[in-house]
Amino acid sequence: MSTTNQALADWVKEIAEHTQADQIYWCDGSDAEDKKFNELLLADGSYKQLNPETHPNCYLHLSDPQDVARVEHLTFICTEQEADAGPNNHWMAPDEAHSKIDDLFKGCMKGRTMYVIPYCMGPIDSPISRCGVEITDSAYVVQNMRLMTRMGQAALARIEREGGFVKGLHSTGELDPERRFIMHFPEELTIKSYGSGYGGNALLGKKCHALRIASYQAKTEGWLAEHMLILGIKTPAGKQHYVAAAFPSACGKTNLAMLIPPEGYVKDGWEISTVGDDICWMRPGEDGRLWAINPEAGFFGVAPGTAKDTNPNALAMLYQDTIFTNVAETEDGQPWWEGLDDRTPKTDWQGRPYDPANGPAAHPNSRFTVSAKRCPSYSSESESATGVPIDAIVFGGRRASLVPLVAEARDWEHGVLMGATVASETTAAATGAVGVVRRDPMAMKPFCGYHFGDYWGHWISMQEKASRLPKVFTVNWFRKDEQGQFMWPGFGENMRVLEWIIGRCQDQLDANETAIGMLPSRDDINTKDLDMDLNVLDELLAVDQQAWQNELSSVDAFLQGYGERVPAALFKQLRRISDQLD
């Protein structure tokens, strides 16, 4: 297999010569190729076959112990002007970055095969989708990209039709943490990643392309590339709605994407479907609405904590055709991680006999890679070329106090402020300091490919591009009482909040206007069969005036930190809230 796209052919030839690869292999995405690669990875010891009776076609990969997570401090945005990268990114001048990383790539594939992976982010025939090509020397990366993207012959055909593509060059190198960089060149639509085999650093279609490069593409082309799940909600009346939602890590994003509603809701005829759990690309449609696709074709999820009681839909996917990375293994060859069940594993994530003195059996960031089609709540609309129309955008953080269970923005600009200032509080277990507020705008802090001030300005500009923008909401499932107990039951009960959100989108449910937005009263939330003190619900929907004034001071200081590029509209919204609180 080769290509009629001269730019692609020339690039592949140039990289093969520079890296001194032994041979070049063009991936075609076929089932036969999939089988061949699994056999190759088993033969070289990169894969271990898991129990074929309980987990057919499932494999365990144990990575280098020093290569188990994204490396933000070694991740750079390389724009011509440093100011364009913004204080939210590490910056390096493009010439310096190319020179530094190209030196590392020189001769690095000697004795290795160079794999060429043409891929499409999003349905092959969708105008919202974008294509890329990843060159890698890792067969493990090939197999993950096979599950995570639409990869192979069809993607190459689209690249040949359209001409353009995002270039991604990756090598595991020597897996030396001192020789590891992930460089992004947004203005060149190019990614170079060296020295890591871990997902977010090596599967270049994921965070590198789908967020860092795509967010820049989206700004130049007039759409949004966001770190959001996409959830389908069908009412008993048969009306289909779609919600996009952004949550920083450890805020229940995947659980919400695969929500199972309480029994009463299921009996009443509510239906939930999953379009995506991590990334959402939204484009204004001819009808004035935002239409969204999930650019990914699979899930690259965190294993620990995934269990029958936390996310049964996620667990149900993982018994077939799954790659497990850095989990533990039981006596009979099944994958295991903390929170799964009460069995004791035989070996840990480093392949050692399990000993609690060595720490967790599965690495806290251990992963599963699986096709989205295996999810019981999978939506066939995931393959729709037009995407799905978004009715509501939801931002969530993890706040033990202050932020109410749910609030609706007054208008689009107020919604952008809500998203730009979303925050989580640290816990003692994480940092030793309790309640330190860390802001993660739109859950994009590690992933926005340019200056946050320009990014917020781009969000605000969507008002000029779409006439029927989604309503915007914030949620907070994590309020605690004086005893430190969660006040809201969470998980499936979050459906009650989603029902109010959908009711607001249909103009069917009431809200009270407050300084911080539109809030439901206790009676606006469906509390049928809800096992909680309804006075607590009142507390979850209250606005503490003084505490919010303090919050506004913190928000103001945070925005000021991004300098003169922050849109004036955000400060205007802040003043409006402050005046109303007074």
Positions annotated as catalytic residues are: 251
**Which residue in 464, 457, 462 sits closest to 563, CA to CA?**
457
251 known ligand binder: yes
What value, to the nearest 5°, has the Cα angle with vertex 539 and ends 534 and 540? 90
State yes or no: 298 annotated in a binding site: no
Closest alpha carbon to 454 in 576, 281, 283, 570: 570
* Cβ proximity of 309 and 260 under 8 Å: no
Q: Which residue has the tokens 């049964």?
A: 312
The answer to whether 511 and 524 have CB atoms below 8 angstroms apart is yes
Is 278 annotated to bind ligand?
yes
**199 assigned to a ligand binding site:** yes
Rounded CA separation 92/79 (Å): 7
569 beta partners: none
- Determine if residue 493 is labeled as part of a ligand binding site: yes
* 509 within 8 A of 503, measured Cβ to Cβ: yes
For tokens 């049928």, the residue is: 528
Instruction: Say whether 158 counts as a known binding-site residue.
Output: no
365 in a labelled binding site: yes
Q: Beta strand pairing status for 392-396 and 181-185?
A: unpaired
| Residue 470 per-residue DSSP state | P
**Would you say 35 is a known binding-site residue?**
no
d(CA 506, CA 318): 36
Please state, in angstroms and as integers, the Cα–Cα distance from residue 34 to each residue in 146, 259, 550, following that order.
8, 31, 56
Residue 366 in marked binding region:
yes
Residue 512, marked binder: no
Is 250 part of any known ligand binding site? yes
Q: Is 207 annotated among the ligand-binding residues? A: yes
What ranges make up the beta strands (E) of 345-453?
367-371, 388-389, 392-396, 406-408, 423-425, 437-439
494 is in an annotated binding site: yes
Is 70 labeled as ligand-binding?
Answer: yes
Element (H, E) at 232: strand 229-234
Tell whether 227 is in a known binding site: yes
Q: How far apart are CA 44 and CA 36, in angstroms?
A: 13
Q: Which of 336, 324, 269 is nearest to 299 (CA)?
A: 324
Q: Three-class SS of residue 218?
A: helix
User: Which residues neighbour 219 within 8 Å (Cβ) at sequence distance 6 or greater?
Assistant: 450, 454, 455, 458
Supply 318's token pair: 């993982």
Residue 198, marked binder: yes
326: annotated binding-site residue?
no
The residues that bridge with 542 in the sheet, in sequence order, are none
Binding-site residue positions for substrate: 70, 198-200, 249, 365-367
Binding-site residue positions for Mn(2+): 207, 227, 278
Binding-site residue positions for GTP: 250-255, 367, 398, 491-494
Binding-site residue positions: 70, 198-200, 207, 227, 249-255, 278, 365-367, 398, 491-494
